[in-house]
Amino acid sequence: MRDWLFRTVGEHQAAMRANEYSSEDLTRAFLRRIEEKNQEIGAYLTVDAEGALCAARASDARRAKGELLSELDGIPYAAKDNFSTKGIRTTCASKLLEHFVPPYDATVIQILKDAGAVLLGKLNMDEFAMGSSNESSAFYPTRNPYDPSRVAGGSSGGSAAAVSAGMACFALGSDTGGSVRQPASFCGVVGLKPTYGVISRYGLISLASSMDAVGLLTHTAEDCRLLLSLLAKRDERDDTSISLSPLPIPKGNLRVGLLEGEGLASPAQREALERAKERLAALGATVLPFTLPSPHKALAAYSVLMSSEASSNLARFDGIRYGSRVDHSDGVLNLYTDTRGELLGKETVRRILFGSYVLQAEHRADFYERARVFRQEIRDRMLASFAEFDVILSPTTPTTAFSVGEIRTPTQMYHADLCTVYANLAGLPAISLPFGTEEGSGLPLSIQLTAAPHGESVLFSVASLLECPQSAAWEVRV
């Protein structure tokens, strides 16, 4: 049996049912693990030990009476620090919100609370979810549990690292252009970005409203399926939320589109992709080549739209009503510029400036409007491709986790999102699955599956054919 801190939701429930340990025991063990490892990994920004133990004891009391609330009752988890948590500070890894304690719970936090899950704390991220390495956290970067000299990925780096390092059973993340799948890939865990709108965004601090999705980071696709069944529901507080109406799982031959193209993956990632392809082919799948529609347009459109929406969504962080503000400013205009200038990080400021620029009346048509047209084009083409394929098989990221400080230019960083942004531009569900480790470095390899809207069911079914227990590498490291 694996170390208990790396077990799945189902395994914990079975063990707790058999009285092997209680939710309180498990919660204490995770808290100890966090205490030991967080200094090195930097996955958590805030730990709520007291709240977690309290919730765990309540869960144990329910279990004793046979009144469990759900399959997640008593399961310790953590949330990226851009989910609003009532009474627990929520920073978005920004100086500006360093001391901000929200008065309300995000819908997903509320659902998990009502389901009896135990919130351990809040996880590190790139500031306001802008980045792919967690290096833009205003506090400290998150390190890769497989190799602390490498990044955990981002922006949900804390979420991926926490699950990967046995510091939470599962974690909530957010995915705007790959922010759940890329760190999941780097840290060797499963990362799901669901269909746009099927999990409520209420209380998720927005980056780009038209692309943001609440994402899940788990040990297995089965855990994702379980969590999604609980979290996916129409929320009256989010007008963009919709009910999930699962696509039927294809009968007969599975049609797989295999992404082709130069420079999309390192040899090791390419090799993982090949293995996945062979596995599916061996199981009777038809594998056909697939090429990304207009990759240059896609990245450009993504960059313009994400920055435009971010510049708007972040306008509320002005130091007036909540959050920190600088106290030396004269007049309200200076208060805005000094607060935002001094308390927001470099990458955040860059995107706000870029987004504001492309929305200006004189540039709007050239950038923002064009990007919207591109996006529609890409969405149409992606949706059309699902007439040919049930699922698209691709790398999640071009490479395995890179070293801290290795990537220096923002465009280099943005380019790594190529395979993931399509799902966000078109609102599609996509999942990143760990797929063995790289020879030599021992770093996790991964693949990504993308399906048509509401095709999570298809993703889980294909994942169950593919999933290789990745804990093997772990047993050595724990």
Partner 1 sequence: MRGYELVVGLEVHVELKTKTKLFCACSTEFGLPPNTACCPVCQGLPGALPTWNREAIRLAVKAGLALGCRIRRVSTAARKQYFYPDLPKGYQISQGDLPLCEDGSLTVDVEGVEKTVGIARIHVEEDAGKLMHVGDKTFIDGNRCGTPLIEIVSLPVLHSGGEASAYLRALREILVACGISDCKMQEGSMRCDVNLSVRKEGDDSLGTRTEIKNINSFSFVEKAIAYEASRQIGLLERGECVLSQTRRYDEKTGETVLMRTKERADDYRFIEEADLPPIRLADAQIDAIGQEIGELPRARRRRLSEQFGISSEDAAILTSDPSLTAYFEEAAEKTSYPKLLSGLVLSELLRYCEGEEFSSPISAERMAELASLMGDGVITSSVAKKLILRLLDVDFSPGEIVEREALGQIRDEELLSGYVQEAIAEMPRAVEDYQAGKAAALQSLIGKVMAKTKGRAAPELTRQLLEESLRREGGNGDVLL
Binding pattern to partner 1, positions 405-444, x when CB under 8 A? ----------------------------------------
By CB under 8 A, residue 151 contacts partner 1:
no
By CB under 8 A, residue 238 contacts partner 1:
yes
- From the list 237, 296, 346, 477, which residue makes contact with partner 1 (rule: CB under 8 A)? 237
The region of 12-20, 92-100, 157-165, 433-441 touching partner 1 under the rule CB under 8 A is 92-100
- From the list 11, 68, 89, 104, which residue makes contact with partner 1 (rule: CB under 8 A)? 104
By beta-carbon proximity to partner 1, the closer residue of 100 and 414 is 100
Distance between CA atoms of residues 456 and 450, nearest Å: 9
Q: How far is the CB of 207 from partner 1 (least distance, A)?
A: 11
By CB under 8 A, residue 97 contacts partner 1:
yes
By beta-carbon proximity to partner 1, the closer residue of 315 and 468 is 315
The region of 134-142, 205-213, 222-230, 445-453 touching partner 1 under the rule CB under 8 A is 205-213
By CB under 8 A, residue 213 contacts partner 1:
no
SS3 of the chain: CCCHHHCCHHHHHHHHHCCCCCHHHHHHHHHHHHHHHHHHHCCEEEECHHHHHHHHHHHHHHHHHCCCCCCCCCCEEEEECCECECCECCCCCCHHHCCCCCCCCCHHHHHHHHCCCEEEEEECCCHHHCCCCCCCCCCCCCEECCEEEEECCCCCHHHHHHHHCCCCCEEEEEECCCCCHHHHHHHCCEEEECCCCCECCCCECCCCCCCCEEEEEECCHHHHHHHHHHHECCCCCCCCCCCCCCCCCCCCCCEEEEECCCCCCCHHHHHHHHHHHHHHHHCCCEEEEECCCCHHHHHHHHHHHHHHHHHHHHHHCCCCCCCCCCCCCCCHHHHHHHHHHHHCCHHHHHHHHHHHHHHCCCCCHHHHHHHHHHHHHHHHHHHHHCCCCCEEEECCCCCCCCECCCCCCHHHHHHCCHHHHHHHHHCCCEEEEEEEECCCCCCEEEEEEECCCCCHHHHHHHHHHHCCCCHHHHHHHC
- From the list 29, 49, 54, 359, which residue makes contact with partner 1 (rule: CB under 8 A)? 359
Q: How far is the CB of 391 from partner 1 (least distance, A)?
A: 27
Residues 304/391/428/190 CA torsion (nearest 10 deg): -90
Q: How far is the CB of 118 from partner 1 (least distance, A)?
A: 22
By beta-carbon proximity to partner 1, the closer residue of 242 and 276 is 242
Distance between CA atoms of residues 310 and 293, nearest Å: 25
By CB under 8 A, residue 173 contacts partner 1:
no
The region of 37-45, 149-157, 198-206, 216-224 touching partner 1 under the rule CB under 8 A is 198-206
By CB under 8 A, residue 328 contacts partner 1:
no
By CB under 8 A, residue 236 contacts partner 1:
yes
The region of 22-30, 184-192, 232-240, 462-470 touching partner 1 under the rule CB under 8 A is 232-240
By CB under 8 A, residue 239 contacts partner 1:
yes
By beta-carbon proximity to partner 1, the closer residue of 275 and 372 is 372
Binding-site residue total for partner 1 (CB under 8 A)? 47
By CB under 8 A, residue 303 contacts partner 1:
no
- Catalytic (active-site) positions: 80, 155, 179
The region of 30-38, 289-297, 313-321, 386-394 touching partner 1 under the rule CB under 8 A is 313-321
- Which residue ranges make up the site for partner 1 (CB under 8 A)? 82-84, 90, 92, 97, 100, 102-104, 106, 201-206, 208-210, 236-240, 308-309, 311-312, 314-318, 320-322, 332-333, 336, 356, 359-361, 364, 368, 372
